[in-house]
Chains A and B, each alone.
Chain A
Amino acid sequence: MTLNLTPNIPDPDGFYDALLAAHEGLEKEQSDAFNARLILVLCNHIGDRDVLRQALEAAKAP
Protein backbone atom coordinates (compact mmCIF):
# COMPACT_ATOMS: atom_id res chain seq x y z
CA MET A 1 0.00 0.00 0.00
CA THR A 2 1.13 3.57 -0.62
CA LEU A 3 1.03 6.20 2.06
CA ASN A 4 -1.71 8.70 1.41
CA LEU A 5 -0.12 12.15 1.24
CA THR A 6 -3.14 13.92 -0.26
CA PRO A 7 -5.73 15.69 1.92
CA ASN A 8 -7.73 13.00 3.65
CA ILE A 9 -9.20 14.55 6.83
CA PRO A 10 -12.66 16.10 6.55
CA ASP A 11 -12.85 19.49 8.25
CA PRO A 12 -9.08 20.04 8.57
CA ASP A 13 -9.53 23.18 10.70
CA GLY A 14 -11.71 21.32 13.14
CA PHE A 15 -9.22 18.47 13.43
CA TYR A 16 -6.30 20.85 13.95
CA ASP A 17 -8.27 22.55 16.66
CA ALA A 18 -8.94 19.23 18.38
CA LEU A 19 -5.25 18.34 18.25
CA LEU A 20 -4.23 21.59 19.92
CA ALA A 21 -7.06 21.32 22.42
CA ALA A 22 -5.74 17.95 23.52
CA HIS A 23 -2.50 19.61 24.55
CA GLU A 24 -4.10 22.51 26.34
CA GLY A 25 -2.99 22.92 29.95
CA LEU A 26 -0.30 20.25 29.63
CA GLU A 27 3.27 20.81 30.77
CA LYS A 28 5.94 20.22 28.14
CA GLU A 29 6.69 16.81 29.62
CA GLN A 30 3.04 15.78 29.57
CA SER A 31 2.68 17.02 26.01
CA ASP A 32 5.68 14.98 24.90
CA ALA A 33 4.22 11.91 26.54
CA PHE A 34 0.84 12.57 24.93
CA ASN A 35 2.43 12.88 21.49
CA ALA A 36 4.29 9.64 21.96
CA ARG A 37 1.12 7.82 22.97
CA LEU A 38 -0.75 9.33 20.03
CA ILE A 39 1.92 8.23 17.58
CA LEU A 40 1.86 4.68 18.95
CA VAL A 41 -1.94 4.49 18.80
CA LEU A 42 -2.00 5.71 15.20
CA CYS A 43 0.88 3.51 14.08
CA ASN A 44 -0.85 0.48 15.49
CA HIS A 45 -4.03 1.40 13.66
CA ILE A 46 -2.13 1.59 10.38
CA GLY A 47 -0.23 -1.60 11.09
CA ASP A 48 1.16 -1.99 7.56
CA ARG A 49 4.94 -1.87 7.96
CA ASP A 50 5.41 -0.60 4.45
CA VAL A 51 3.10 2.35 4.99
CA LEU A 52 4.76 3.06 8.33
CA ARG A 53 8.16 3.06 6.67
CA GLN A 54 6.94 5.58 4.11
CA ALA A 55 5.44 7.69 6.89
CA LEU A 56 8.75 7.76 8.78
CA GLU A 57 10.41 8.82 5.53
CA ALA A 58 7.81 11.52 4.83
CA ALA A 59 8.08 12.96 8.31
CA LYS A 60 11.82 13.57 7.97
CA ALA A 61 12.73 17.21 7.35
CA PRO A 62 12.50 17.88 3.61
Chain B
Amino acid sequence: MVDVRYDLAFKLYPYARVAAQDMPMQRLPVVVVGGGPIGMATALDLGRKGTPVLVLDDHEGVGQGSRAICFSKRTLEIADRLGAGQAMLDKGVVWNVGKVFHGPDRVFEFNLQPEAGHKMPAFINLQQPHFEKFLVDEIRVAQAQGAPIEIRGQNAVTGVAPQDDCVVLDVSTPEGPYQIAADWVVACDGARSPLRNMLGLSFDGRVFEDNFLIADVKMTAAFPTERWFWFEPPFKGSGQSALLHKQPDDIWRIDFQLGWNIDRQVELDPTRIGERVDAMLGEGAEYELAWTSIYTFQCRRMKEFRHGRVIFAGDSAHQVSPFGARGANSGIQDADNLAWKLDFIVKGLAPESLLDSYSAERAHGADENILNSTRATDFLTPKSDMSKIFRNAVLDLARQHEFARPMVNSGRLSVPCVYDGMPLNGPDELDGPDITRVGAPCIDAPLDRGYLLDRLPGQFTVLAFNCAVPEIDAVEGVPLTHVALRMTEHDPTGALAQRYLGTQPRALYLIRPDQHVAARWPDTDIDALAAAVKTAIGKGA
Protein backbone atom coordinates (compact mmCIF):
# COMPACT_ATOMS: atom_id res chain seq x y z
CA MET B 1 0.00 0.00 0.00
CA VAL B 2 1.08 3.56 -0.63
CA ASP B 3 -0.40 6.39 1.44
CA VAL B 4 -1.86 9.33 -0.40
CA ARG B 5 -0.69 12.38 1.55
CA TYR B 6 -1.89 15.12 -0.77
CA ASP B 7 -4.27 15.81 -3.65
CA LEU B 8 -2.87 16.16 -7.13
CA ALA B 9 -2.89 19.23 -9.33
CA PHE B 10 -1.73 17.21 -12.33
CA LYS B 11 -1.67 13.44 -12.64
CA LEU B 12 1.47 12.91 -14.68
CA TYR B 13 2.87 9.47 -13.93
CA PRO B 14 0.13 7.03 -12.93
CA TYR B 15 1.19 3.80 -11.34
CA ALA B 16 1.99 1.09 -13.87
CA ARG B 17 3.39 -2.31 -13.15
CA VAL B 18 6.94 -2.76 -14.48
CA ALA B 19 8.81 -5.94 -15.27
CA ALA B 20 11.33 -5.21 -12.52
CA GLN B 21 8.62 -6.02 -9.96
CA ASP B 22 8.62 -9.66 -11.08
CA MET B 23 12.31 -10.11 -11.72
CA PRO B 24 15.41 -10.56 -9.60
CA MET B 25 16.62 -7.29 -8.11
CA GLN B 26 17.43 -4.71 -10.77
CA ARG B 27 20.76 -2.91 -10.53
CA LEU B 28 20.74 0.74 -11.65
CA PRO B 29 23.36 3.48 -11.72
CA VAL B 30 21.22 6.29 -10.26
CA VAL B 31 17.88 6.27 -8.46
CA VAL B 32 16.27 9.56 -7.47
CA VAL B 33 13.86 9.22 -4.56
CA GLY B 34 11.14 11.89 -4.69
CA GLY B 35 9.68 13.54 -7.76
CA GLY B 36 9.35 17.10 -6.49
CA PRO B 37 10.99 19.95 -8.40
CA ILE B 38 14.49 18.99 -7.27
CA GLY B 39 14.19 15.28 -8.06
CA MET B 40 12.75 16.01 -11.50
CA ALA B 41 15.41 18.60 -12.33
CA THR B 42 18.17 16.19 -11.27
CA ALA B 43 16.69 13.39 -13.38
CA LEU B 44 16.24 15.63 -16.41
CA ASP B 45 19.82 16.87 -16.22
CA LEU B 46 21.28 13.37 -15.79
CA GLY B 47 19.09 11.89 -18.52
CA ARG B 48 19.98 14.63 -20.99
CA LYS B 49 23.64 13.81 -20.36
CA GLY B 50 22.91 10.17 -21.18
CA THR B 51 23.18 8.71 -17.68
CA PRO B 52 20.30 6.32 -16.93
CA VAL B 53 18.14 7.52 -14.05
CA LEU B 54 15.02 6.21 -12.35
CA VAL B 55 12.71 8.49 -10.35
CA LEU B 56 10.59 6.89 -7.64
CA ASP B 57 7.76 9.05 -6.35
CA ASP B 58 5.13 7.99 -3.86
CA HIS B 59 2.39 9.93 -5.71
CA GLU B 60 1.17 9.90 -9.28
CA GLY B 61 1.84 13.50 -10.13
CA VAL B 62 2.32 17.00 -8.86
CA GLY B 63 0.71 18.02 -5.56
CA GLN B 64 -1.92 20.70 -5.48
CA GLY B 65 -0.45 22.97 -2.83
CA SER B 66 0.91 26.03 -4.53
CA ARG B 67 3.80 26.60 -2.05
CA ALA B 68 6.64 28.21 -4.00
CA ILE B 69 5.60 31.08 -6.24
CA CYS B 70 8.73 33.10 -6.84
CA PHE B 71 11.41 31.66 -9.12
CA SER B 72 14.67 33.48 -9.63
CA LYS B 73 16.71 34.24 -12.71
CA ARG B 74 19.31 31.58 -11.90
CA THR B 75 16.56 28.96 -11.58
CA LEU B 76 15.16 30.02 -14.94
CA GLU B 77 18.61 29.88 -16.51
CA ILE B 78 19.14 26.36 -15.20
CA ALA B 79 15.67 25.34 -16.39
CA ASP B 80 16.50 26.90 -19.74
CA ARG B 81 19.68 24.84 -20.00
CA LEU B 82 17.45 21.80 -19.35
CA GLY B 83 14.92 22.90 -21.95
CA ALA B 84 12.05 23.95 -19.67
CA GLY B 85 12.82 27.67 -19.27
CA GLN B 86 10.73 29.11 -22.06
CA ALA B 87 7.50 27.41 -20.94
CA MET B 88 8.01 28.80 -17.44
CA LEU B 89 8.70 32.26 -18.79
CA ASP B 90 5.61 32.18 -21.02
CA LYS B 91 3.32 31.21 -18.16
CA GLY B 92 4.93 33.17 -15.33
CA VAL B 93 4.12 36.69 -14.21
CA VAL B 94 6.92 39.25 -14.33
CA TRP B 95 6.59 42.10 -11.85
CA ASN B 96 8.71 45.11 -11.03
CA VAL B 97 6.76 47.40 -8.74
CA GLY B 98 6.58 46.79 -5.02
CA LYS B 99 4.90 48.80 -2.30
CA VAL B 100 5.77 48.68 1.37
CA PHE B 101 3.24 49.71 4.01
CA HIS B 102 3.56 50.21 7.75
CA GLY B 103 0.13 50.07 9.31
CA PRO B 104 -2.19 52.08 7.04
CA ASP B 105 0.59 54.23 5.60
CA ARG B 106 2.62 53.72 2.50
CA VAL B 107 6.31 53.81 3.41
CA PHE B 108 7.72 53.73 -0.11
CA GLU B 109 7.39 52.20 -3.52
CA PHE B 110 10.14 50.62 -5.56
CA ASN B 111 10.60 49.69 -9.15
CA LEU B 112 13.07 46.89 -9.66
CA GLN B 113 14.24 48.05 -13.05
CA PRO B 114 15.91 44.86 -14.13
CA GLU B 115 19.46 45.08 -15.46
CA ALA B 116 19.34 44.92 -19.24
CA GLY B 117 21.10 42.26 -21.27
CA HIS B 118 19.85 39.03 -19.72
CA LYS B 119 17.69 36.45 -21.44
CA MET B 120 15.81 35.75 -18.21
CA PRO B 121 14.07 38.28 -15.93
CA ALA B 122 15.19 38.74 -12.33
CA PHE B 123 12.34 36.47 -11.22
CA ILE B 124 8.87 35.33 -12.17
CA ASN B 125 5.85 34.36 -10.13
CA LEU B 126 4.53 30.94 -11.02
CA GLN B 127 2.64 28.37 -8.95
CA GLN B 128 4.90 25.50 -7.98
CA PRO B 129 2.66 22.83 -9.58
CA HIS B 130 3.16 24.50 -12.97
CA PHE B 131 6.89 24.74 -12.39
CA GLU B 132 7.01 21.02 -11.63
CA LYS B 133 4.76 20.13 -14.54
CA PHE B 134 7.01 21.96 -17.00
CA LEU B 135 9.95 19.90 -15.77
CA VAL B 136 8.02 16.66 -16.22
CA ASP B 137 6.81 17.80 -19.66
CA GLU B 138 10.42 18.34 -20.62
CA ILE B 139 11.35 14.91 -19.28
CA ARG B 140 8.76 13.50 -21.69
CA VAL B 141 10.37 15.42 -24.54
CA ALA B 142 13.82 14.18 -23.52
CA GLN B 143 12.55 10.60 -23.27
CA ALA B 144 11.15 10.83 -26.77
CA GLN B 145 14.60 11.95 -27.92
CA GLY B 146 16.12 8.89 -26.25
CA ALA B 147 17.15 10.20 -22.82
CA PRO B 148 17.29 7.22 -20.44
CA ILE B 149 14.88 8.57 -17.78
CA GLU B 150 12.14 6.54 -16.15
CA ILE B 151 9.51 7.74 -13.65
CA ARG B 152 7.59 5.29 -11.51
CA GLY B 153 4.56 6.76 -9.75
CA GLN B 154 3.14 5.40 -6.51
CA ASN B 155 6.47 3.79 -5.78
CA ALA B 156 7.27 4.70 -2.17
CA VAL B 157 10.69 3.97 -0.73
CA THR B 158 10.19 2.34 2.66
CA GLY B 159 13.65 1.00 3.39
CA VAL B 160 17.23 1.90 2.58
CA ALA B 161 20.21 -0.37 3.17
CA PRO B 162 23.63 0.99 2.20
CA GLN B 163 26.09 -1.72 1.11
CA ASP B 164 29.74 -1.35 0.14
CA ASP B 165 29.14 -1.06 -3.56
CA CYS B 166 25.46 -0.12 -3.80
CA VAL B 167 22.34 0.86 -1.89
CA VAL B 168 19.36 -1.48 -1.65
CA LEU B 169 15.97 0.22 -1.58
CA ASP B 170 12.70 -1.32 -0.45
CA VAL B 171 9.93 -0.02 -2.65
CA SER B 172 6.25 -0.24 -1.84
CA THR B 173 3.61 -0.18 -4.61
CA PRO B 174 -0.17 -0.71 -4.79
CA GLU B 175 0.66 -4.24 -5.96
CA GLY B 176 3.14 -5.09 -3.26
CA PRO B 177 6.80 -4.49 -2.50
CA TYR B 178 9.98 -5.04 -4.49
CA GLN B 179 13.63 -4.11 -4.20
CA ILE B 180 16.09 -2.12 -6.30
CA ALA B 181 19.86 -1.87 -6.01
CA ALA B 182 21.40 1.46 -7.00
CA ASP B 183 25.00 2.58 -7.31
CA TRP B 184 23.89 6.04 -6.23
CA VAL B 185 20.73 7.26 -4.54
CA VAL B 186 19.73 10.92 -4.68
CA ALA B 187 17.34 11.67 -1.83
CA CYS B 188 14.99 14.43 -3.01
CA ASP B 189 12.23 13.33 -0.68
CA GLY B 190 11.45 16.71 0.86
CA ALA B 191 11.82 18.38 4.25
CA ARG B 192 10.47 15.39 6.17
CA SER B 193 12.84 13.10 4.23
CA PRO B 194 12.01 9.49 5.08
CA LEU B 195 15.47 8.49 3.80
CA ARG B 196 17.19 10.88 6.19
CA ASN B 197 15.14 9.49 9.04
CA MET B 198 15.69 5.86 8.06
CA LEU B 199 19.44 6.49 8.01
CA GLY B 200 19.19 8.16 11.43
CA LEU B 201 20.78 11.41 10.24
CA SER B 202 20.21 14.66 12.09
CA PHE B 203 18.68 17.85 10.72
CA ASP B 204 19.43 20.65 13.14
CA GLY B 205 18.46 24.27 13.19
CA ARG B 206 16.05 26.81 14.45
CA VAL B 207 12.27 26.51 14.50
CA PHE B 208 10.59 29.90 14.30
CA GLU B 209 7.59 30.20 16.55
CA ASP B 210 5.13 31.58 14.12
CA ASN B 211 2.25 30.47 11.95
CA PHE B 212 1.56 31.74 8.48
CA LEU B 213 -1.78 31.54 6.81
CA ILE B 214 -1.62 31.37 3.03
CA ALA B 215 -4.63 31.97 0.88
CA ASP B 216 -4.46 31.80 -2.89
CA VAL B 217 -7.50 33.70 -4.14
CA LYS B 218 -8.88 34.03 -7.62
CA MET B 219 -9.94 37.58 -8.41
CA THR B 220 -11.42 38.73 -11.62
CA ALA B 221 -11.40 42.44 -10.84
CA ALA B 222 -8.41 44.41 -12.00
CA PHE B 223 -5.70 44.68 -9.40
CA PRO B 224 -2.20 45.88 -10.19
CA THR B 225 0.63 43.41 -10.83
CA GLU B 226 2.63 44.56 -7.84
CA ARG B 227 3.98 43.14 -4.65
CA TRP B 228 2.35 44.73 -1.58
CA PHE B 229 3.88 44.13 1.77
CA TRP B 230 2.56 45.34 5.11
CA PHE B 231 4.45 45.59 8.36
CA GLU B 232 1.90 45.62 11.20
CA PRO B 233 -1.03 45.58 8.77
CA PRO B 234 -4.04 47.67 9.71
CA PHE B 235 -6.70 45.07 8.90
CA LYS B 236 -8.36 43.31 11.79
CA GLY B 237 -6.57 40.21 13.10
CA SER B 238 -3.99 40.07 10.38
CA GLY B 239 -0.98 39.64 12.64
CA GLN B 240 2.51 41.05 12.26
CA SER B 241 2.88 41.19 8.52
CA ALA B 242 0.98 40.50 5.33
CA LEU B 243 1.81 40.03 1.68
CA LEU B 244 -0.20 40.29 -1.51
CA HIS B 245 1.40 39.02 -4.69
CA LYS B 246 0.20 38.12 -8.16
CA GLN B 247 0.44 34.71 -9.81
CA PRO B 248 -0.73 33.57 -13.25
CA ASP B 249 -4.42 32.88 -14.01
CA ASP B 250 -5.77 35.77 -11.89
CA ILE B 251 -4.61 34.08 -8.71
CA TRP B 252 -3.24 36.19 -5.88
CA ARG B 253 -1.11 34.91 -3.05
CA ILE B 254 -2.06 36.36 0.32
CA ASP B 255 0.12 35.60 3.28
CA PHE B 256 -0.79 36.52 6.88
CA GLN B 257 1.61 36.12 9.78
CA LEU B 258 -0.61 34.90 12.61
CA GLY B 259 1.69 34.43 15.59
CA TRP B 260 2.39 31.32 17.62
CA ASN B 261 -0.62 30.61 19.85
CA ILE B 262 -3.39 29.93 17.39
CA ASP B 263 -5.95 27.24 16.85
CA ARG B 264 -5.22 25.87 13.36
CA GLN B 265 -8.68 24.40 12.85
CA VAL B 266 -10.36 27.69 13.70
CA GLU B 267 -8.01 29.69 11.51
CA LEU B 268 -8.53 27.40 8.53
CA ASP B 269 -12.31 27.86 8.61
CA PRO B 270 -13.14 29.38 5.21
CA THR B 271 -15.50 31.94 6.76
CA ARG B 272 -12.75 33.12 9.04
CA ILE B 273 -10.24 33.28 6.20
CA GLY B 274 -12.85 35.16 4.18
CA GLU B 275 -13.13 37.82 6.88
CA ARG B 276 -9.39 38.39 6.81
CA VAL B 277 -9.23 38.57 3.04
CA ASP B 278 -12.23 40.94 2.94
CA ALA B 279 -10.47 43.22 5.39
CA MET B 280 -7.39 43.28 3.18
CA LEU B 281 -9.00 43.64 -0.22
CA GLY B 282 -11.73 46.02 0.91
CA GLU B 283 -15.50 45.71 0.91
CA GLY B 284 -17.06 44.25 -2.20
CA ALA B 285 -13.94 42.64 -3.64
CA GLU B 286 -15.01 39.53 -5.50
CA TYR B 287 -12.86 36.47 -5.18
CA GLU B 288 -12.83 32.73 -4.65
CA LEU B 289 -10.50 30.84 -2.33
CA ALA B 290 -8.37 28.57 -4.51
CA TRP B 291 -6.07 27.07 -1.91
CA THR B 292 -5.39 27.69 1.76
CA SER B 293 -2.88 26.36 4.22
CA ILE B 294 -1.18 27.18 7.51
CA TYR B 295 2.50 26.57 7.93
CA THR B 296 5.30 27.07 10.40
CA PHE B 297 8.88 27.05 9.29
CA GLN B 298 12.35 26.06 10.18
CA CYS B 299 15.83 27.09 9.17
CA ARG B 300 18.08 24.06 9.30
CA ARG B 301 20.39 21.86 7.31
CA MET B 302 22.16 18.54 7.41
CA LYS B 303 25.83 18.68 8.37
CA GLU B 304 26.88 16.75 5.27
CA PHE B 305 24.79 16.36 2.12
CA ARG B 306 26.61 13.19 1.07
CA HIS B 307 26.47 10.02 3.12
CA GLY B 308 28.39 7.39 1.20
CA ARG B 309 26.25 6.46 -1.78
CA VAL B 310 23.23 8.46 -0.65
CA ILE B 311 23.22 12.14 -1.57
CA PHE B 312 20.67 14.62 -0.30
CA ALA B 313 19.36 17.51 -2.40
CA GLY B 314 16.66 20.14 -1.96
CA ASP B 315 14.49 20.37 1.15
CA SER B 316 15.72 17.02 2.43
CA ALA B 317 19.15 18.59 2.89
CA HIS B 318 18.20 22.11 3.95
CA GLN B 319 15.16 24.12 4.81
CA VAL B 320 14.74 27.88 4.98
CA SER B 321 11.94 30.28 5.77
CA PRO B 322 9.89 31.26 2.75
CA PHE B 323 10.97 34.92 2.98
CA GLY B 324 13.20 35.49 0.04
CA ALA B 325 11.95 32.51 -1.93
CA ARG B 326 15.02 30.39 -1.44
CA GLY B 327 13.72 26.86 -0.95
CA ALA B 328 13.09 25.64 -4.46
CA ASN B 329 15.53 28.14 -5.93
CA SER B 330 18.42 26.81 -3.89
CA GLY B 331 17.32 23.21 -4.46
CA ILE B 332 17.50 23.74 -8.22
CA GLN B 333 21.07 24.91 -7.76
CA ASP B 334 21.73 21.67 -5.85
CA ALA B 335 20.48 19.70 -8.85
CA ASP B 336 22.59 21.85 -11.18
CA ASN B 337 25.68 21.21 -9.04
CA LEU B 338 25.09 17.50 -8.49
CA ALA B 339 23.99 16.20 -11.89
CA TRP B 340 27.24 16.73 -13.80
CA LYS B 341 29.32 15.33 -10.96
CA LEU B 342 27.24 12.16 -10.73
CA ASP B 343 27.26 11.87 -14.50
CA PHE B 344 31.09 12.04 -14.55
CA ILE B 345 31.37 9.44 -11.80
CA VAL B 346 28.95 7.04 -13.48
CA LYS B 347 30.92 7.44 -16.72
CA GLY B 348 34.19 6.83 -14.90
CA LEU B 349 35.53 10.32 -15.66
CA ALA B 350 35.94 11.51 -12.09
CA PRO B 351 36.71 10.01 -8.69
CA GLU B 352 33.86 9.42 -6.24
CA SER B 353 35.36 12.04 -3.97
CA LEU B 354 34.06 14.66 -6.43
CA LEU B 355 30.75 14.28 -4.61
CA ASP B 356 32.29 15.73 -1.46
CA SER B 357 32.64 19.00 -3.35
CA TYR B 358 28.88 18.89 -3.94
CA SER B 359 28.35 18.76 -0.20
CA ALA B 360 30.88 21.53 0.49
CA GLU B 361 29.62 23.87 -2.23
CA ARG B 362 25.93 23.43 -1.57
CA ALA B 363 26.25 23.51 2.22
CA HIS B 364 27.95 26.87 1.68
CA GLY B 365 24.91 27.89 -0.39
CA ALA B 366 22.53 26.63 2.27
CA ASP B 367 24.33 28.63 4.96
CA GLU B 368 24.03 31.77 2.88
CA ASN B 369 20.31 31.16 2.40
CA ILE B 370 19.72 30.39 6.05
CA LEU B 371 21.59 33.54 7.05
CA ASN B 372 19.55 35.67 4.68
CA SER B 373 16.21 34.26 5.65
CA THR B 374 17.03 34.44 9.35
CA ARG B 375 17.88 38.13 8.94
CA ALA B 376 14.60 38.76 7.12
CA THR B 377 12.72 36.98 9.86
CA ASP B 378 14.39 39.09 12.51
CA PHE B 379 13.34 42.24 10.69
CA LEU B 380 9.77 41.01 10.17
CA THR B 381 9.31 39.72 13.71
CA PRO B 382 11.62 41.69 16.00
CA LYS B 383 12.65 39.48 18.89
CA SER B 384 13.22 42.21 21.52
CA ASP B 385 11.92 45.67 22.41
CA MET B 386 15.07 47.28 21.06
CA SER B 387 15.03 45.36 17.79
CA LYS B 388 11.45 46.52 17.32
CA ILE B 389 12.47 50.13 18.02
CA PHE B 390 15.17 49.93 15.36
CA ARG B 391 12.91 48.14 12.90
CA ASN B 392 10.28 50.84 13.23
CA ALA B 393 12.93 53.56 13.05
CA VAL B 394 14.05 52.13 9.69
CA LEU B 395 10.46 52.11 8.45
CA ASP B 396 9.87 55.68 9.68
CA LEU B 397 13.01 57.00 8.03
CA ALA B 398 12.33 55.11 4.81
CA ARG B 399 9.31 57.32 4.11
CA GLN B 400 11.48 60.42 3.76
CA HIS B 401 14.97 59.18 3.17
CA GLU B 402 16.27 56.96 0.48
CA PHE B 403 19.16 55.72 2.57
CA ALA B 404 16.92 53.70 4.88
CA ARG B 405 15.08 51.85 2.13
CA PRO B 406 17.71 49.19 1.46
CA MET B 407 17.52 48.28 5.14
CA VAL B 408 13.82 47.44 4.89
CA ASN B 409 13.87 43.66 4.74
CA SER B 410 10.71 41.84 3.76
CA GLY B 411 12.74 38.98 2.31
CA ARG B 412 15.73 39.29 0.01
CA LEU B 413 15.23 37.64 -3.31
CA SER B 414 17.30 34.61 -3.99
CA VAL B 415 20.59 35.28 -5.73
CA PRO B 416 22.89 32.46 -6.81
CA CYS B 417 25.66 31.35 -4.56
CA VAL B 418 29.31 32.04 -5.46
CA TYR B 419 31.60 29.12 -4.58
CA ASP B 420 34.34 31.29 -3.14
CA GLY B 421 37.37 29.42 -1.83
CA MET B 422 36.06 25.95 -2.72
CA PRO B 423 38.33 23.00 -3.55
CA LEU B 424 37.35 22.69 -7.23
CA ASN B 425 38.34 26.28 -7.95
CA GLY B 426 41.32 26.90 -10.18
CA PRO B 427 43.42 30.04 -10.45
CA ASP B 428 41.87 33.49 -10.81
CA GLU B 429 44.69 35.23 -12.60
CA LEU B 430 42.67 37.78 -14.49
CA ASP B 431 42.36 41.18 -12.93
CA GLY B 432 38.76 41.05 -14.10
CA PRO B 433 35.26 41.91 -12.90
CA ASP B 434 34.25 40.66 -9.48
CA ILE B 435 30.88 39.34 -10.65
CA THR B 436 32.51 36.73 -12.87
CA ARG B 437 35.27 35.72 -10.47
CA VAL B 438 36.20 32.08 -10.02
CA GLY B 439 33.34 30.28 -8.27
CA ALA B 440 30.62 32.60 -9.64
CA PRO B 441 27.91 31.42 -12.01
CA CYS B 442 28.36 32.96 -15.46
CA ILE B 443 26.45 36.17 -15.88
CA ASP B 444 24.37 36.22 -19.02
CA ALA B 445 24.98 38.76 -21.77
CA PRO B 446 23.54 39.36 -25.23
CA LEU B 447 25.64 38.22 -28.20
CA ASP B 448 25.23 39.24 -31.81
CA ARG B 449 22.90 36.25 -32.00
CA GLY B 450 21.24 34.86 -28.87
CA TYR B 451 22.72 34.99 -25.40
CA LEU B 452 25.96 33.84 -23.83
CA LEU B 453 24.34 31.20 -21.63
CA ASP B 454 22.83 29.53 -24.72
CA ARG B 455 26.42 28.75 -25.65
CA LEU B 456 27.09 26.93 -22.35
CA PRO B 457 24.77 23.94 -22.51
CA GLY B 458 26.30 21.72 -19.84
CA GLN B 459 29.84 20.64 -20.76
CA PHE B 460 33.19 21.95 -19.65
CA THR B 461 33.66 24.95 -21.90
CA VAL B 462 36.67 27.05 -22.74
CA LEU B 463 35.50 30.61 -23.29
CA ALA B 464 38.04 32.69 -25.11
CA PHE B 465 37.42 36.44 -25.25
CA ASN B 466 39.58 38.24 -27.81
CA CYS B 467 42.16 35.47 -27.68
CA ALA B 468 43.04 32.16 -29.29
CA VAL B 469 41.21 29.02 -28.27
CA PRO B 470 43.78 26.53 -27.00
CA GLU B 471 44.04 23.48 -29.23
CA ILE B 472 42.96 20.87 -26.77
CA ASP B 473 39.76 18.85 -27.07
CA ALA B 474 39.82 16.80 -23.91
CA VAL B 475 41.59 16.48 -20.58
CA GLU B 476 41.61 13.08 -18.84
CA GLY B 477 38.81 12.00 -21.16
CA VAL B 478 36.67 15.01 -20.25
CA PRO B 479 35.59 16.70 -23.49
CA LEU B 480 36.06 20.45 -23.76
CA THR B 481 33.74 22.65 -25.78
CA HIS B 482 35.26 25.77 -27.29
CA VAL B 483 33.59 29.14 -27.59
CA ALA B 484 35.60 32.00 -29.05
CA LEU B 485 34.13 35.49 -28.89
CA ARG B 486 35.54 38.71 -30.29
CA MET B 487 34.15 41.81 -28.72
CA THR B 488 34.29 43.65 -32.03
CA GLU B 489 32.01 41.05 -33.56
CA HIS B 490 29.94 39.36 -30.86
CA ASP B 491 29.28 42.04 -28.25
CA PRO B 492 26.65 44.40 -29.67
CA THR B 493 25.84 46.11 -26.37
CA GLY B 494 29.20 46.11 -24.60
CA ALA B 495 27.72 44.06 -21.76
CA LEU B 496 29.92 41.06 -22.54
CA ALA B 497 33.14 43.07 -22.23
CA GLN B 498 31.87 44.81 -19.13
CA ARG B 499 30.93 41.53 -17.43
CA TYR B 500 33.92 39.38 -18.48
CA LEU B 501 36.84 41.68 -19.28
CA GLY B 502 36.40 44.83 -17.25
CA THR B 503 39.52 46.81 -18.11
CA GLN B 504 41.40 43.82 -19.56
CA PRO B 505 42.01 43.44 -23.30
CA ARG B 506 41.43 39.64 -23.43
CA ALA B 507 40.68 36.70 -21.20
CA LEU B 508 40.40 32.93 -21.13
CA TYR B 509 37.71 31.36 -18.91
CA LEU B 510 37.17 27.72 -18.01
CA ILE B 511 33.46 27.10 -17.33
CA ARG B 512 32.06 24.06 -15.53
CA PRO B 513 29.04 22.13 -16.82
CA ASP B 514 26.88 23.99 -14.26
CA GLN B 515 28.04 27.29 -15.80
CA HIS B 516 30.16 28.30 -12.81
CA VAL B 517 33.58 29.80 -13.52
CA ALA B 518 36.29 27.23 -12.73
CA ALA B 519 39.33 29.38 -13.55
CA ARG B 520 40.35 32.40 -15.62
CA TRP B 521 43.52 33.85 -17.06
CA PRO B 522 44.66 36.97 -18.89
CA ASP B 523 45.64 34.87 -21.93
CA THR B 524 45.71 31.37 -23.44
CA ASP B 525 47.79 28.84 -21.52
CA ILE B 526 47.25 25.15 -22.35
CA ASP B 527 49.11 23.69 -19.37
CA ALA B 528 47.31 25.88 -16.89
CA LEU B 529 44.02 25.02 -18.54
CA ALA B 530 44.62 21.26 -18.34
CA ALA B 531 45.60 21.55 -14.69
CA ALA B 532 42.45 23.55 -13.92
CA VAL B 533 40.23 20.93 -15.58
CA LYS B 534 41.83 18.27 -13.39
CA THR B 535 41.24 20.34 -10.29
CA ALA B 536 37.63 20.96 -11.30
CA ILE B 537 36.89 17.23 -11.61
CA GLY B 538 38.42 16.42 -8.27
CA LYS B 539 41.73 15.06 -9.65
CA GLY B 540 43.79 18.03 -8.52
CA ALA B 541 47.12 17.51 -6.81
**A contact face: mostly helix, strand, loop, or mixed:** helix
| Binary interface encoding of chain B residues 394-421 relative to chain A, with 1 for a CB under 8 A from any of its CBs, else 0 | 1011000101100100000000000000
Task: Tell me the complex Cα distance, A41–B390, Å.
Answer: 12
**B contact face: mostly helix, strand, loop, or mixed:** helix
B389, B401, B404: the one within 8 Å of A33 (CB) = B389
In the complex, what residue of chain A is closest to B402 when comparing beta carbons?
A44
**B247 to A: closest C-beta gap in Å:** 35
Task: Tell me the complex Cα distance, A33–B401, Å.
Answer: 16
> Is residue A49 within 8 Å, beta carbon to beta carbon, of the partner chain?
no
Q: Are B403 and A37 in contact (CB under 8 A)?
A: no
Task: Tell me the complex Cα distance, A41–B400, Å.
Answer: 12
Task: Tell me the complex Cα distance, A44–B397, Å.
Answer: 12
Number of interface residues of A (CB under 8 A): 8
Q: Are A40 and B394 in contact (CB under 8 A)?
A: yes
Cβ contacts under 8 Å, A40 to chain B: 390, 393-394, 397, 404, 407
> Is residue A36 within 8 Å, beta carbon to beta carbon, of the partner chain?
yes
Q: Are B392 and A33 in contact (CB under 8 A)?
A: yes
> Is residue A32 within 8 Å, beta carbon to beta carbon, of the partner chain?
yes
**B397 to A: closest C-beta gap in Å:** 6
Task: Tell me the complex Cα distance, A36–B392, Å.
Answer: 9
Q: A37-B396, A40-B397 are in contact. Are A32 and B389 (CB under 8 A)?
A: yes
Task: Tell me the complex Cα distance, A49–B394, Å.
Answer: 18
Task: Tell me the complex Cα distance, A36–B407, Å.
Answer: 14
Q: Are B389 and A44 in contact (CB under 8 A)?
A: no
Task: Tell me the complex Cα distance, A41–B404, Å.
Answer: 8
Q: Are B396 and A33 in contact (CB under 8 A)?
A: yes
Task: Tell me the complex Cα distance, A33–B131, Å.
Answer: 44
Cβ contacts under 8 Å, B407 to chain A: 40
**A49 to B: closest C-beta gap in Å:** 14
Interface of A toward B, CB cutoff 8 Å: 32-33, 36-37, 39-41, 44
8 A-B Cβ contacts within 8 A? A33-B389, A33-B392, A33-B396, A36-B389, A36-B393, A39-B390, A40-B394, A44-B403
Interface of B toward A, CB cutoff 8 Å: 389-390, 392-394, 396-397, 401, 403-404, 407
